[in-house]
Structure 1
Amino acid sequence: MIDEKIVIGDGTKYPLNGMLSIPDEINGLLPAVVLVHGSGPSNMDGKVGNNYPYKDLANALAERGIAVLRYDKRTFVYGKEMKNDTGLSVKEETIEDAILAANFLRKDSRINGNKIFIIGHSMGGMLAPRIDAEGGNFAGIIIMAGSPRKLEEIMMSQNNDVLNSLNRFLKMIAKKQIAAISSKFNNIYNLSDEEAKSTKVLGKYVRAYYLKEIGEHPAAIYLQALDKPVFILQGEKDFQASVEKDFNSYKTLLSDKQNVTFKLYPNLNHLFMPSVYGEILKAKKEYKLPQQIDKQVIQDVSEWILSV
């Protein structure tokens, strides 16, 4: 396998360093994958604690004959400049660069332009169908630990998971804070875009517009319109995406569609690595332990890509 340093969005306002992993043996044109990050700033390796899931994926898939493109997330490199942008949405944060990455691969003479896939992890999985629709034009979509729910719904259920594991005194304090956030969230869709841009809903920088914009482009609409192959996978011990509310909701939503494959993995966490503590309060500790993506996940993903 060869790692080639590349730049996504060269000549734009936000050029991003990236890596193209190319298999050693090239027999004919290569299938290829664009890796798309979850929420928050993240480097091209998808570093979480002492784990590097995107690097794992890139290396393992390249060994199986699939080219993989990964890159630093825009907010990872330009977060300081972008945090004061009141009109920031997932379009600027994630979607534009994923489309640029797909186009970058299409210009590479070693790549089969009709066999370019997207792997979206977590929020990247939520956005993958939209990225496809807005110009990614992928051959197939892989959603790892994604969600068909609205972002604020996911945030609320994560807050409630934390709440349920607190002692009584902390619960009282947290309950009030969570109720205050909830009432802000409930009002998002009553605001005009301009009002939403000037309304802060979380911390200093997260504005209502960010949530409103993503909420007005629900994953369900894109997924139900798709007839290209989709592979949805999740770890059973994922405490950030829920089996019941996310994985099973995808299944219900897409139950009549022949183009979708589902797989749930026992004992794997949000990074598709073996579960250690299995609870949201110990997330930091869990991801501190260096691990690698489960071999079965790698095998299933590569076999699925090569079968399309």
Structure 2
Amino acid sequence: MADEKIVIGAETKYPLHGILTLPNENHRLFPAVVLVQGSGPSNMDEKIGNNYPFKDIAEGLSEKGIAVLRYDKRTFVYGKEMKNDTGLTVKEETMEDAILAADFLRKDARIDSSKIFILGHSLGGMLAPRIDAEGGNFAGFIILGGSPRKLEEIIMDQNHLVLNSLNKFLKMIAKKQIAKLSSRFQNIYNLSDEEAKSTVIFGKHSRAYYFKEMGEHPSTDYLKVLNKPILILQGDKDFQVSVEKDFNGYKNLLGDKPNVTFKRYANLNHLFMPAVYGDILKAKKEYNVAQHVDKQVISDISDWIFSI
């Protein structure tokens, strides 16, 4: 296994450092995977607490003969410059760089250009079908802990999950805050683009336009018409997306399609690591426990890629 330091988007305004992990053999062309992170600023290893899921996946897949490309997320490197961009969307935050990464791999003589896949985790998985449609042109998709729902629906569900875990006094305060957030989300599609750009949803920089633009390109629209191979994975102790609404939501949408494979894992959390607390209120504590992506998950991804 060899790690090569690379730069994605070297000719653009936002060059990003990355690593291409290559199998330790040279007698054939390698299938390859582009890794796309979840929401928020994230480095190339997708470091969350004391865990490095993308490093685990890159090393695990390359040991099995698959090249893997990972890179820092644009908001991780250029967050300060980008936070005041009221027109920021998932395109600038995530999609453009994933397409550049696919192009980068296609130019590498060691890679089988007909076998370049996208692996999206969480928000990255939600965006994978749109990334493909807008220029990624992948051979297939691996969606880890993703959702066919809109981002704001997932955020509201996470808030209600927290609400139900609070004591009476805190519940009263939180209820008002959640009701306010809910009404803001409900109104975003009534706003013009310009109004949405000037409307803050929460925090200082989270604008309605980000959610509006993404919501107007729902992943379901892309998934329904896709005939490319899709692998959808979820841990059943994931408290950030729901087995019932998200994993089963994919099944309801795509369950009868022969191109889609589903796999659910007992006792794994959102990082596809063993659940520690399994409680959204203890998310920080959970992710501070250093662990590794379950080996079975890596084997299943590898077997699926080689079956295509």
Shorter-chain TM-score range: over 0.9
**One-letter amino acid of the structure 1 residue matched with residue 5 of structure 2:** K
Q: Deviations over 1:243-281 (max 9, x none)?
A: 001000000011221100000000000000000000100
- SS of the equivalent of 1:184 reads helix
In structure 2, the gaps of 5 or more residues are none
Structure 1 counterpart of 2:218? 218
CA distance in 1: counterparts of 2:44 and 2:159, whole angstroms: 28
Structure 2 counterpart of 1:243? 243
RMSD: 0.5
- SS of the equivalent of 1:231 reads strand
Alpha-carbon shift at residue 11 of structure 1 (Å): 1.5
1:89 aligns with 2:89: yes
What percentage of residue pairs aligned between the two structures are identical?
Answer: 75
Structure 2 counterpart of 1:100? 100
Q: Deviations over 1:146-181 (max 9, x none)?
A: 000001000000000000000000000000000000
CA distance in 2: counterparts of 1:77 and 1:289, whole angstroms: 25
Alpha-carbon shift at residue 234 of structure 1 (Å): 0.2
Is the Cα contact below 8 Å between 1:149 and 1:246 reproduced in 2? yes
Structure 1 counterpart of 2:252? 252
- SS of the equivalent of 1:54 reads helix
CA distance in 2: counterparts of 1:171 and 1:253, whole angstroms: 35
**One-letter amino acid of the structure 2 residue matched with residue 175 of structure 1:** K
Q: Deviations over 1:227-247 (max 9, x none)?
A: 010000000000001000100
- SS of the equivalent of 2:31 reads strand
Alpha-carbon shift at residue 28 of structure 1 (Å): 1.4
Q: Deviations over 1:68-107 (max 9, x none)?
A: 0000000000000000001000000000000000000000
Structure 1 counterpart of 2:163? 163
Structure 2 counterpart of 1:126? 126
Is the Cα contact below 8 Å between 1:26 and 1:65 reproduced in 2? no
**One-letter amino acid of the structure 2 residue matched with residue 129 of structure 1:** P
**One-letter amino acid of the structure 1 residue matched with residue 219 of structure 2:** A
Q: Deviations over 1:100-153 (max 9, x none)?
A: 000000000000000000000000000001001110000010000000000100
Alpha-carbon shift at residue 202 of structure 1 (Å): 1.0
Matches of residues 295-306 of structure 1 in structure 2 within 5 Å? 295-306=295-306
Structure 1 counterpart of 2:2? 2
Alpha-carbon shift at residue 27 of structure 1 (Å): 2.6
Structure 1 counterpart of 2:114? 114
Matches of residues 166-177 of structure 1 in structure 2 within 5 Å? 166-177=166-177
Structure 1 counterpart of 2:275? 275
Structure 1 counterpart of 2:230? 230
CA distance in 2: counterparts of 1:244 and 1:127, whole angstroms: 20
Normalising by structure 2, we get a TM-score of 0.99
CA distance in 2: counterparts of 1:26 and 1:202, whole angstroms: 50
Runs of 4+ in 1 over 3 A off after TM superposition: none
Alpha-carbon shift at residue 26 of structure 1 (Å): 2.4
- SS of the equivalent of 2:291 reads coil
CA distance in 2: counterparts of 1:27 and 1:176, whole angstroms: 62
Alpha-carbon shift at residue 223 of structure 1 (Å): 0.5
- SS of the equivalent of 2:96 reads helix
Structure 2 counterpart of 1:203? 203
CA distance in 2: counterparts of 1:290 and 1:305, whole angstroms: 28
CA distance in 2: counterparts of 1:243 and 1:129, whole angstroms: 20
Alpha-carbon shift at residue 214 of structure 1 (Å): 0.4
In structure 1, the gaps of 5 or more residues are none
